[in-house]
């Protein structure tokens, strides 16, 4: 019995080294592979973005509809100029207020123009936009 117990691990070791994939003599192994199913996903077309609406507020004439160069002539060099995707935010500040002007390209044009203005005090309280524009125009 003792020789049989010693032979068992050796037999298992030899069995694990076997080629397992070899076909019996005289027979050929055939492997079939089926191609994966194809899924067709349509390519998205160009993104048609809506045109930004212009904020028409009394006192913002000459600001809304202006491009960055025109705004620079009115207020000077912006304190902040942030470009994100196709939008642009310009910021000016003075003792009276902080003015943010947002520019977006319009349909049929790649040049962004001012479509919205926002004004606030340094502590975050809201300020009349037209008053802020007037104050910053004078201080420049």
pLDDT in tens, 47-74: 555 555 666 778 888 899 999 999 999 9
Q: Which domain holds residue 115?
A: 68-139
Q: Which residue has the higher pLDDT, 32 or 135?
A: 135
Query: Considering the domain boundaries, does residue 63 fall inside one?
Result: no
Residue 21 has pLDDT above 60, yes or no: no
Give the contacts of 86 (CB within 8 A, at least 6 positions apart): 49, 104, 105, 112
Give the contacts of 93 (CB within 8 A, at least 6 positions apart): 79, 99, 122, 136
Query: Considering the domain boundaries, does residue 134 fall inside one?
Result: yes
Number of Cβ atoms within 10 Å of the Cβ of 96: 17
Q: What's the domain count of the chain?
A: 1
Residue 51 tokens, joined: 């045109």
Q: What does pTM read for this prediction?
A: 0.60
Query: Considering the domain boundaries, does residue 28 fall inside one?
Result: no
């Amino acid at each position: 019995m003792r020789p049989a117990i010693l032979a068992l691990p050796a037999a298992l070791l030899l069995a694990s080294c076997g080629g397992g994939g070899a076909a019996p003599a005289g027979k050929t192994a055939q492997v079939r592979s089926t191609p994966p199913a194809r899924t067709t996903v349509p390519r998205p077309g160009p993104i048609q973005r809506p045109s930004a609406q212009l904020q028409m507020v009394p006192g913002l004439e000459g600001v809304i509809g202006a491009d960055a160069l025109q705004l620079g002539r009115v207020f000077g060099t912006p304190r902040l100029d942030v470009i994100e995707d196709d939008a642009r935010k310009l910021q000016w500040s003075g003792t009276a207020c902080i003015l943010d002007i947002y520019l977006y390209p319009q349909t049929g044009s790649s040049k962004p123009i001012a479509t919205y203005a926002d004004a606030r005090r340094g502590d975050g309280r809201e300020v009349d936009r037209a008053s802020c524009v007037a104050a910053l125009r004078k201080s420049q």
